[in-house]
Amino acid sequence: MDTQVAIIGAGPAGLLLAHLLQRAGIESMVLEARTREYVEHRVRAGVLEQGTVDVLTETGVGDRLHREGMVHRGLELRFGGRGHRIALSDLAGGRAITVYGQQEVVKDLIAARLEAGGELRFEAEATAIEDLDGDRPVVRLASGEELGCAVVAGCDGFHGVSRAAAPDGALAVYERVYPFAWLGILARAAPSSEELIYAHHDRGFALHSMRSPEITRLYLQVAPDDELEAWPDERIWEELQTRMATRDGAFALNEGEIFERGIAPMRSFVAEPMRHGRLFLAGDAAHIVPATGAKGLNLAVADVRVLARALRAFFERGDEAELDAYSDRCLRRVWRVQHFSWWMTQMLHRLDANDPFEGKLQRSQLEYVVRSEAAARTLAENYVGLELEDV
């Protein structure tokens, strides 16, 4: 088998890259280890930045997103039993976020790929990448087949094979693992608020989000080694009710059947550079952010926008300058987003219970963010997403 760009992974990064390349007349083949059913139903992120919405819209895959997605112009920070609205759009030049499930983005991109007749293979696991230092790398598949190409795009997530294909010592790794995880659920219940609520509580962080007028998405900070078995439905609701309650008793959290649940670790991770020879890493293959900033998916989209543009210069004009600049260009945004995600995480979670000094700092920070327009603006402009050029 042979193609111009071998794309490993059909998550948001790999699928959007294939879509952007197709529109530029560049051939690619997407290899995905899992089934179509699996990737279309994997529940993960839900917040799309303005820039993410714009690129999906401009390239013809935004119709359902505009019909079903929920545009949000603010969010709530809740602490000390009180809610405080951050007016995202007013503070960030009119930009907004859209709540639309990651798996819906994935479904839309798969449909577009298949409709355009592009190559997309499910249950096609890449096991190795060879000859990265030459101009004809080869991807080996578990089936025994091999795919020759000019460029490999490693879009296979944090646990994929791409990053490991760079030789030992070629990539520097920066990492922080947090001493907590998130238990996430989907419930058949109407959202209890029109906007997202990020709640800081002595018992730990809680987040109220949504997927539709009938479905609520909720998260709880839990111990990193907690198992789902330790969290029966009653315990989940009790903990959510406690952490989200307001002092005036006015907030009512709607409950309903829990039909999806999972525990995700919280980690910050960056591998540098995001390139080795003819291999380019994008999305979670290169970096992970804790979900508190709602950035993982958006960062993956930003990477492949830069990569698609660079590949266009390479295939159309033989110009390698943009490919050479790819890693540096992406890493500026990656580190901005790393800082923002870390900042939101340390401001909102229960940290070391034995360190009251830290708790006082957190509270002071939260109060400053809701009182100072400058501080609120910092949150808002990062949350809705900085323009590609502004990072």
138 DSSP β-pair partners: 130, 148
Question: Per CB under 6 A, which of residues 175..214 are in contact with ligand FAD?
Answer: none
- 32/195 with CB nearer ligand FAD: 32
d(CA 106, CA 222): 28
User: Measured from the CB of residue 47, what is the shortest distance to ligand PHB in angstroms?
Assistant: 5
CB neighbours of 180 closer than 8 A, spacing ≥ 6?
Answer: 204, 205, 221, 222, 223, 224, 266, 349, 350
d(CA 1, CA 148): 6
d(CA 345, CA 357): 17
Binding mask 204-243 for ligand PHB (x = CB under 6 A): ---x-x-------x--------------------------
Per the CB < 8 A criterion, the answer to whether 225 and 178 are in contact is no
Question: Per CB under 6 A, which of residues 8..37 are in contact with ligand FAD?
Answer: 8-14, 31-34
Binding partner selected for residue 154 from ligand FAD, ligand PHB, none, CB under the kind-specific 5 to 8 Å limit: none
Q: How many residues bind ligand FAD (CB under 6 A)?
A: 32
Least Cα distance to 153 among 342, 17, 56 occurs for: 17
For residue 110, state whether it binds ligand FAD (rule: CB under 6 A): no
Binding partner selected for residue 209 from ligand FAD, ligand PHB, none, CB under the kind-specific 5 to 8 Å limit: ligand PHB
For residue 147, state whether it binds ligand PHB (rule: CB under 6 A): no
Exposed e or buried b for every residue in 292-324, given b needs 16+ CB within 10 A?
Answer: bbbbbbbbbbbbbbbbbbbbbebbeeeeeebbe
**Which of left, alpha, beta for 280 (phi over 0: left; psi -120 to 50: alpha)?**
beta
Question: Per CB under 6 A, which of residues 37..56 are in contact with ligand FAD?
Answer: 39, 44-45
User: Measured from the CB of residue 340, what is the shortest distance to ligand PHB in angstroms?
Assistant: 11
Least Cα distance to 271 among 339, 340, 169 occurs for: 169
Binding mask 320-359 for ligand FAD (x = CB under 6 A): ----------------------------------------
Question: Per CB under 6 A, which of residues 37..96 are in contact with ligand PHB?
Answer: 45-47
- Residues lying near ligand PHB in the complex (CB under 6 A): 45-47, 196, 207, 209, 217, 291-292, 294
- Residues lying near ligand FAD in the complex (CB under 6 A): 8-14, 31-34, 39, 44-45, 102, 125-126, 155-157, 160-161, 262, 264, 283-284, 291, 294-297, 300
